[in-house]
Amino acid sequence: MENENSYETEEIKEMINNHRFHEGEALISTLMLKEPHAARPHNLMGILLEKEGKHSDAMKHFRAAYALDPSYEPAEKNLETFGAFAIDRDYDYGEEPMKETKTVQQKEHALCI
């Protein structure tokens, strides 16, 4: 199951990073049905929604992931990271965090939302 989870996470990560959000959302939704009490699918959905600019919805999924498993560190880290305004953000997929640097202009835009 661990290898399958890792493969699915990598596949979803690739979809998100290539802006294939619809495909990523479909795969994550399937994972949610398959693993209804798991934090990982909600964490992944939070990342996808955050990348789409849907911050409020993303935070709901990060909170759901944390509520399902408070020991799941990626959800806790993403809650901390995206619950605060910051320039440097690391998306934590559950393996190696991916760093994304936003410009000050992007940060100012985010503050206006």
- Residue 1: pLDDT band with limits 50, 70, 90: low
Instruction: Name beta bridge partners: 100.
Output: 89
- 28 versus 105: the higher-pLDDT residue is 28
Distance CA 74, CA 54 (A): 19
**For the chain, how many structural domains are there in total?**
1
The CATH number of the domain holding residue 46 is: 1.25.40.10
Which residue range(s) make up the domain with 73?
2-112
3: tokens are 């290898």
In tens, the pLDDT along 43-98 reads 999 999 999 999 999 999 999 999 999 999 999 999 988 887 655 667 778 876 56
24: Cβ–Cβ under 8 A, 6 or more apart, which residues?
12, 15, 16, 44, 48
Distances 6 to 12, 22, 32, 35, 86 between C-alpha atoms, Å: 10, 20, 15, 14, 28
The three-class DSSP label of residue 88 is strand
- 39 versus 2: the higher-pLDDT residue is 39
- Residue 103: pLDDT band with limits 50, 70, 90: very low
pLDDT of 106 = 42
pLDDT of 87 = 56
Distance CA 53, CA 111 (A): 12
pTM of the predicted model as reported, rounded to 2 decimal places: 0.74
